[in-house]
């Protein structure tokens, strides 16, 4: 069975602090994709990144970086020098490669960045 | 240019009524989805259509009936609304398969009183 666990329900940081959002997944597939989505207070869901299981290179995009470690089944998301606009609920998701199986979402981590 | 649009954005109705939510995407995607997000922000897949054909039907009451007139549209009709149906409903689209990112509509907040 596919499962995504985001153990941190809520995180609160002060602006300019770095923060890491954890994501641990379970799958029996050898090939799969992992995603992060952001849901700001306005409510829309915004795609942030997709990473396939055979590419373990870390990725950096501005203040955002992602650390994929297959050995620990984790795909963690770090925001450097956090800003108030980063306040949102962040979802990690697992996408099996095969067939029409849909994305499996974690329960989300609510990040509050305080000025 | 809105990629995935939903109407209405807000829907307030009484128990027992029937209502519909419409979704359209202009991304040329073959696959569309309906998700329900409850008050705890948990996102749950309800349905998925690929090129107008139903491919995923999770455990959803049969009061919920999706309809896809063409691959750019996926509507959700709900009969005999109940209090527990209150949630935000998101439409999404993607290319087929779980390897592709999904693009979400803005959501429809349904409140059943």
Tell me the DSSP string of B61-108.
Answer: -TTEEEEEEETTEEEEEE-S--GGG-EEEEEEEESSSTTSPPEE---E
Nearest CA in chain A to B88: A43
CB B100 within 8 A of CB B94: yes
Per-residue model confidence (pLDDT) at position B14: 97
pLDDT at B85: 96
Token pair of B63, please?
């009061």
**Predicted local confidence at residue B16, as pLDDT:** 97
CB contact under 8 A, A107 and B40: yes
Q: Are β-strands A59-61 and A64-69 bridged in parallel, bridged antiparallel, or unpaired?
A: antiparallel
Count of CB pairs separated by less than 8 Å, A with B: 67
Biggest CA pair distance of chain A = 45
Instruction: Please give the pLDDT value at position A5.
Output: 97
High-pLDDT (> 70) share of chain B, %: 97
Predicted pLDDT of residue B1: 65
pLDDT at A102: 76
User: Which parts of chain A have pLDDT scores under 70?
Assistant: 97-101
Question: Are A108 and B100 an interchain contact pair (Cβ–Cβ within 8 Å)?
Answer: no
Strand A74-79, strand A19-21: pairing:
antiparallel
Contact call for residues A87 and A11 (beta carbons, < 8 A): no
What is the pLDDT at residue A100?
Answer: 64
User: What pLDDT is stored for residue B54 in this prediction?
Assistant: 86
Confidence at B15, pLDDT banded by 50, 70, 90: very high
Q: What is the pLDDT of residue A55?
A: 83
Per-residue pLDDT tens over the stretch B75-105: 999 999 999 999 999 999 988 766 778 899 9
Which of chain B's residues have a Cβ under 8 Å away from the Cβ of A102?
Answer: 33, 45, 48, 56, 98
- Of the pLDDT bands very low, low, confident and very high (cuts 50, 70, 90), residue B53 is confident
Contact A44 B42 (CB under 8 A): no
Q: Is A24 helix (H, G, I), strand (E, B) or coil?
A: strand
Are residues A106 and A38 in contact, defined by beta-carbon separation less than 8 angstroms?
no
pLDDT at residue A68 in the model: 94
Interatomic CA distance for residues A27 and A92, integer angstroms: 14
Cβ-proximal residues to A4 (8 Å cutoff; 6+ apart), any chain: A23, A24, A25, A26, A92, A93, A94, A104, A105, A106
* pLDDT at position A67: 94
State mean pLDDT over B16-35: 95
Which residue, among A22, A90, A104, A70, has the nearest Cα to B35 in the 3D structure? A104
pLDDT of res. B56:
80
Cα–Cα nearest to B52, from B75, B35, B26, B36 = B75
């Amino acid at each position: 069975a596919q499962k995504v666990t985001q153990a941190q329900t809520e995180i609160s940081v002060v602006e300019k602090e770095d923060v890491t959002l954890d994501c641990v997944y379970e799958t029996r597939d050898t090939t799969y994709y992992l995603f992060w989505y952001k849901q700001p207070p306005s409510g829309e869901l915004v795609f942030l990144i997709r990473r396939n299981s055979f590419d373990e290179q870390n990725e950096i995009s501005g203040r955002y970086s992602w650390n994929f470690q297959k050995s620990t089944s984790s795909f963690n998301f770090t925001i450097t020098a956090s800003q108030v606009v980063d306040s949102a609920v962040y979802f990690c998701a697992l996408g099996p490669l095969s067939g029409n199986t849909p994305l499996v979402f974690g329960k989300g981590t609510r990040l509050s960045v305080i000025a | 240019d809105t990629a995935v649009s939903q109407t209405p954005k807000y829907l307030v109705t009484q128990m027992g009524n029937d209502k519909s939510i419409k979704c359209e995407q202009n991304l040329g995607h073959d696959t569309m989805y309906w998700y329900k997000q409850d008050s705890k922000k948990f996102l749950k897949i309800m349905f998925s259509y690929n090129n107008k054909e139903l491919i995923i039907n999770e455990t959803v009451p049969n009061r919920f009936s999706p309809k896809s007139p063409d691959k750019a549209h996926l509507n959700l009709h709900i009969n005999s609304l109940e209090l527990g149906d209150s949630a935000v409903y998101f439409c999404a689209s993607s290319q087929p398969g779980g390897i592709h990112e999904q693009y979400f509509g803005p959501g429809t907040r349904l409140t059943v009183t």
